Structure 1
Amino acid sequence: MTDSSTTTAPDAPLRLQPGETAPSFTLPSSAGTPVSLADFAGSKVILYFYPAAMTPGCTTQACDFRDSLGSLQGAGYTVLGISKDSPDKLAAFAERDGLTFPLLSDEDLTVHKAYGAYGEKNSYGRIITGVLRSTFVIDEKGAIELALYNVKATGHVASLRKKLGIA
């Protein structure tokens, strides 16, 4: 699936583009059940990748999605969060912060890499390899509508809602 035209260096992660088919996946959820992208065929999905449950930035972002869930669902979107955390840690995160949308565990980073949400990034002036905070909007046919890489935790959901025309 990796196309050399989508990368700029041998170790650069692939970058999905609007119109491309979203990579399929099945991952364990915080509720202990498997969740597949195929489960949402015919629906619009907001899929976001975050570095680590229960950290300040990831909590801010998750709570912003939680607080906007009514308007996002009202506009026809399902929100799914993915991290490398274990299902047990995700369950604790969901419980602690009242997160009512599915949190999915990708401990081996396979799905992160398929979406280009794992790779080199600049962290306080140092180049490190890790999770790239990224968000994807997937349309009813399973195509990428928006691919947003290296987003900020604070204010991201408001910016996304604006891009999607959701008040």
Structure 2
Amino acid sequence: MWRVVTWAVGIALLVASPAAAFKRTAPGDPLKDFALSTPAGEPFRLSEHLGERATVLVFWAMWSPRSEEALGEFQALYREHRERGLQVVGVNVEHQDRDPGEAEKIGAWAAERGIAFPVVIDEDLAVFNDYGVVAVPSLALLGPDGTVRELLEGYSRMTRDGFKEEVLRALGVLPEGEAEARPEPSAPKPKGLAARYARMGEILLKRHMAARAERAFLKALKEDPDYDRAKDGLARARAVLAEEKGKGGGAPGAEAASMGTGTGSRGSAGGTVREDASAEQGRTPNPRAVRYVRMGRMLMDRERYESALGVFRKAAELDPAYREAFEGWAEALEKLGRTDEARAVRERLPDGPEGAA
């Protein structure tokens, strides 16, 4: 009997509303207005561009593979339903410190993918923090007056269809209480204990135990390196850990480091999970380079090696003495089969205590 009760409680935690992912925003909240600029430098105020029936905010970044997927799918929805009163706004949350000319790169990136709805840049992440976004991408559905109607953390296959249905209901395309007809997904059954470890990780995340959740997701990926649910969970856990460390929360980062190095855990891309060795050895690397390395690791875990390559290269440019960046750069090249280039990068590895990682 108690086993049944325990299982039921676990399931309830897993299907809890994704609104909990937005730390400072919940359904029913009034409009959180903001004024940002487009990549071309034009001013944009949200309250002046709300859709007649619904507005979807997409918090995205170029380094996030799921962001590209979310933007593409909502571009299709926008094209099909904008005459019905749908507005979509892409809020770029690349990072807090920007390089000269980066706005133009963001605009070009969106244009190359045919994004026709407004794109704005949250340069100092003020909007990101005001809404309390945790994962990238994340989405918010607003009503005609800007009232928050629905929230979506990440863009997993398990939750995004339900969010799209809410958008269609807001537009009157789908009647209230009716689900959109779609074929049942034929996802392969996860191997070994992967599903159990992934469920454990999700429960730990909901309990704000990100470091322990990261360890659970890594165990899931050890059982099944292709398990998307575990990959998504690992990315969310690492995003939370990065946010906590950015706010000065040293303890969570230290716990994550002990999990990565003490057990020799490895992600699906084969890279050892560890905190930055340079910090452990007393040298503080460029903070922006550290963020890029974290992004690179997440992309490696998702097997997006080409994207990871560019991110690690950027980290190495920002801090030429940061060994972690060069190691990631070389590993990405090896995964792409470019062994000669990887060997050349390894020959450039900075000497010193960082190599002790």
Taking structure 2 as the reference length, what is the TM-score of the superposition?
A: 0.36
Count of aligned residue pairs for this structure pair: 143
Alignment of 1:39-118 (within 5 A): 39-41=48-50, 43=52, 44-50=54-60, 52-53=61-62, 55-85=64-94, 86-118=102-134
**In the alignment, what sits opposite 1:151?**
155
Q: Is the 8 A contact 1:31 1:87 kept in 2?
A: yes
Q: Which runs of 5+ in 2 are unaligned?
A: 1-19, 95-101, 175-357
Give the one of 43, 53, 63 matched to 1:34: 43
Q: Is the 8 A contact 2:152 2:159 kept in 1?
A: no
The CA deviation at 1:41 is 4.9
Question: Separation in 2 of the partners of 1:74 and 1:160?
Answer: 20
The runs of at least 4 aligned residues of structure 1 exceeding 4 Å deviation read none
Q: Is the 8 A contact 1:87 1:104 kept in 2?
A: no
1:117 partner SS: coil
User: RCO (CA 8 Å, sep 6+): is it higher in 1 or 2?
Assistant: 1
Judging by fraction of residues, say which structure has more strand.
Answer: 1
The 1:135/1:13 distance shift into structure 2, 3 A limit, reads closer
Judging by fraction of residues, say which structure has more helix.
Answer: 2
Q: Is the 8 A contact 1:26 1:36 kept in 2?
A: yes
**In the alignment, what sits opposite 1:18?**
27
**In the alignment, what sits opposite 1:134?**
138
The CA deviation at 1:89 is 2.3
The AA in structure 2 aligned to 1:19 is: G
Q: Is the 8 A contact 1:79 1:102 kept in 2?
A: yes
Q: Greater CA radius of gyration, 1 or 2? A: 2
Q: Which runs of 5+ in 1 are unaligned?
A: 1-7, 119-130
The 1:137/1:13 distance shift into structure 2, 3 A limit, reads closer
Question: Separation in 1 of the partners of 2:112 and 2:37?
Answer: 19
The CA deviation at 1:153 is 7.6
The 1:153/1:32 distance shift into structure 2, 3 A limit, reads farther
**In the alignment, what sits opposite 2:164?**
161
Q: Is the 8 A contact 2:152 2:163 kept in 1?
A: no
Question: Separation in 2 of the partners of 1:89 and 1:154?
Answer: 32
